[in-house]
Structure 1
Amino acid sequence: MTAFASGFLTYLALVVAIGAQTLFLLRQSVRGDRAWTAIGICFLGDVVLLSAGTAGIGVVAERWPWLVTALTVAGVVYLVWFALAALRSSVRGHRTLEEAAAEVRDDAWAPSAEEVAVMTGRLPVLPAAGRAPGGAVAVPAGTSAEVSGAGGATPVAVRTRPAPATMRPSAAPRTPLRRLVLLSLSVSLLNPHAILDTVVMMGTFAQSFGTLKWAYAGGAVAAGALWFGLLGWGGAKLAPVMNTPRTWRVVDAVVAVLMLAIAAKVGLTLL
């Protein structure tokens, strides 16, 4: 496997997980709320982190080679743990967007219950912007809905006021640009989990390819661009598919096998 392909597959397996960044970008995409601005910031954040990791760990490798070996061993252990967690999730088959959103409901960037219901297709988005004044999801009068979660069906508080006929998509409430930038940075450049994945793990694994380490980083960047592009162009269609346990059983099984293979490949470089 080439350095580019290794970087692409490794990072793609990491980035497709339902995490802060994916939930946030899906929310912006489905709402039509400066989605490409958020995607651009998150993508650039990933590029910065991947570049910093590849270059920074390279400096560490020149001065303290033993530290890179230790980080590589830790990275292999992390990949094995990641693979086993994905395998367990695949067997249980209960993973959904709704559960992931419920776990982070208190975070500033997290989608509300109503927004998750729209994202997953449980509530309709009306042609006239799909949102009533004040940011509530607009549904026809008399409509009732439930959101299924880990504890069963939960009623969603929804305003039943129909959206004005004169409202257009462009009139939907938008996140202020400054707040959007801060939220985007919080799930990318300032996200401790993202820093661990990109700077520490990806940066360390890149060193195993020697002079081709930047090809490895380039593959990771390409994987990020592919995933973010899918969220931007097809987020509204992708979200309902991502909300089914069957989908994640397949995804988690593939990720588990891929991660174990990558862990074995990197582990062999230590022998």
Structure 2
Amino acid sequence: MTSSFVPAAAAGFGTGLSLIVAIGAQNAFVLRQGIRRQAVLAVVGICALSDAVLIALGVAGLGAVVTAWPAALTLVGLAGGAFLLCYGTLAAVRALRPADGEGMSTRGTTTGSVRTAVLTCLALTWLNPHVYLDTVLMLGSISAERGSLRWVFGLGAVLASLVWFAGLGYGARLLSGVLARPTAWRVVDSLVAVTMLAMGAMLLLRTL
């Protein structure tokens, strides 16, 4: 049993990692929060827990429901695309007109900033139809091939998500020295803006 357990978990870890490593809106947000050292635990926790829930639903067989209800994905795509465009526009404004003293100093994490980070992270995670396609549908379908070990495969995928988001969120602070000046932050916000606007536009074009 152990000889089968490890390969299944490793396969789940590798597959899960391959689906979330690509640069996207969620990863860009986690990276930015990590560099700012703001609400990192909350953001990493939301991303990892959300993936765990979606992967579990996929392994449980809810992929068929997602396939049978395309209208739901269309609504999610429209809302998610609009949200990404708004968030990207705000990032572009920050890049073009940074606030005075907008540097990479470690900022106090107020209740308001945590609430904003949490709500933004939830929106970026749950308003992205690709999340459902990757986790519920794709991972769910692949896990079904593992038969009785499908939950082991799913556990590996959940672990990959946790490792990735924790590494991205907490590892980003290593860049704090490089991004100590306001000019550097303008570059970060520019990259975030381009990523969000491009993904938002593509999402709306594919949905409409």
TM bin, normalised by shorter chain, reads 0.5 to 0.7
The whole-number CA distance in structure 1 between the counterparts of 2:60 and 2:89 is 33
Matched, 1:209 2:188: no
The whole-number CA distance in structure 1 between the counterparts of 2:101 and 2:55 is 46
Q: Which residue of 2 aligns with 1:200?
A: 137
Aligned to 1:46, which of 45, 51, 64? 51
Q: How does 1:15-30 map to 2 (within 5 A)?
A: 15-30=20-35
Structure 2 vs 1, CA of residues 201 and 186 (structure 1 numbering), >3 Å: closer, same or farther?
Answer: same
The whole-number CA distance in structure 2 between the counterparts of 1:47 and 1:38 is 14
Q: Which residue of 1 aligns with 2:155?
A: 218
Q: Does the Cα contact within 8 Å between 1:49 and 1:189 map onto a contact in 2?
A: no
* Larger CA Rg, structure 1 vs 2: 1
TM-score (norm: length of structure 1): 0.49
Matched, 1:3 2:8: yes
Alpha-carbon displacement from aligned partner over 1:137-171 (angstroms, at most 9, x marks no partner): xxxxxxxxxxxxxxxxxxx4445x558xxxx8444
Of residues 34-43 and 105-114 in structure 1, the stretch that sits farther from structure 2 once superposed is: 105-114
Q: Does the Cα contact within 8 Å between 2:35 and 2:175 map onto a contact in 1?
A: no
Q: Percent identity?
A: 37
Matched AA of 2:47: C
Offset of residue 205 of structure 1: 0.6
Q: Which residue of 2 aligns with 1:112?
A: 91
| Unmatched segments (≥5 aa) in structure 1 | 61-66, 68-103, 117-155, 244-271
Structure 2 vs 1, CA of residues 214 and 234 (structure 1 numbering), >3 Å: closer, same or farther?
Answer: same
Q: How does 1:166-245 map to 2 (within 5 A)?
A: 169-171=106-108, 175-237=112-174
Q: Which residue of 2 aligns with 1:142?
A: none
Matched AA of 1:112: A
Q: Does the Cα contact within 8 Å between 2:38 and 2:114 map onto a contact in 1?
A: no
Offset of residue 11 of structure 1: 1.2
Q: Does the Cα contact within 8 Å between 2:59 and 2:141 map onto a contact in 1?
A: yes
TM-score (norm: length of structure 2): 0.62
The whole-number CA distance in structure 2 between the counterparts of 1:158 and 1:170 is 16
Structure 2 vs 1, CA of residues 57 and 109 (structure 1 numbering), >3 Å: closer, same or farther?
Answer: same
For CA contacts below 8 A with separation 6 or more, give which structure has more relative contact order. 2
| Unmatched segments (≥5 aa) in structure 2 | 1-5, 68-82, 179-186, 188-208
The whole-number CA distance in structure 2 between the counterparts of 1:173 and 1:54 is 38
Offset of residue 39 of structure 1: 1.0
Q: How many pairs does the alignment contain?
A: 154
Aligned to 2:39, which of 30, 34, 39? 34
Alpha-carbon displacement from aligned partner over 1:200-252 (angstroms, at most 9, x marks no partner): 00011100000000011011011111111111221133698xx9xxxxxxxxx
CA root-mean-square deviation: 3.3
Alpha-carbon displacement from aligned partner over 1:6-40 (angstroms, at most 9, x marks no partner): 11111111111001110110111111221111111
Offset of residue 185 of structure 1: 1.4
